[in-house]
Structure 1
C-alpha cells in the first residue's frame, strides 16, 4: 500500500463515521416535556427557541446527550426572554 492509499482509506473512514452520526441524530424523535418528566441530561448540545419580541410563552427545543451517550431532543414551553424586563 502506498502512502496515498492509506491516507485515502483513513479519510473515507472518517467521512463514513461523520455520516453515520449525522444520520443517527436525524432519526431522534423529540419528546415533549410534561411536569414530572425525568430528565437524564449529561451534556447539552444545542438550545433553540421561537423568536419573540414581546413577553409571552414560546416553544423551545433542547438537544442533549443522556448518560448513555445517546442523543435526545426535548420540546418544552417557556417564557420569552422579553419577559425578563417586565414585572
Structure 2
C-alpha cells in the first residue's frame, strides 16, 4: 500500500514539475546552441530599432527551452 501511495505521489510530483514555466535564457554570441526543433518564435516588432525576440525550442534530448535574442525590427525603410 505504501508503494502505491509513493507511486501516485511521484506521478503527481512529476506532472506538477512539467507545468512549471520555463526560465528565459538570454543568448550570447559565445553560447553553444543545441536546437533540434523550433516550436515557435515571437513576432518581430514593426519599429526601426533593435528588439527582443523569443524562440521556444527543443534540444536533442527533448527538453524545451526559451531563448531570447535581439534582432533589427521590421520598421526600417531605405527611402
Which TM-score applies when normalising by structure 2?
0.67
Higher helix fraction: Structure 1 or Structure 2?
A: 1
Indicate the RMSD between aligned Cα atoms, in angstroms: 2.5
**Could you tell me which residue of structure 2 aligns to residue 38 of structure 1?**
32
| Misfit runs of 4+, over 2 Å | 23-27
Q: Distance in 1 between matches of 2:19 and 2:39?
A: 11
Q: How many residues align structurally?
A: 66
> 8 Å contact 1:49–1:58 — kept in the other structure?
no
* 1:15-71 deviation line (CA, Å, top 9, x unaligned): xxxxx4xx6264321100011111100000010146x33211011100000000000
What 5-or-longer segments of structure 1 have no aligned partner? 1-19
Partner secondary structure for residue 66 of structure 2: strand
* TM-score (norm: length of structure 1): 0.62
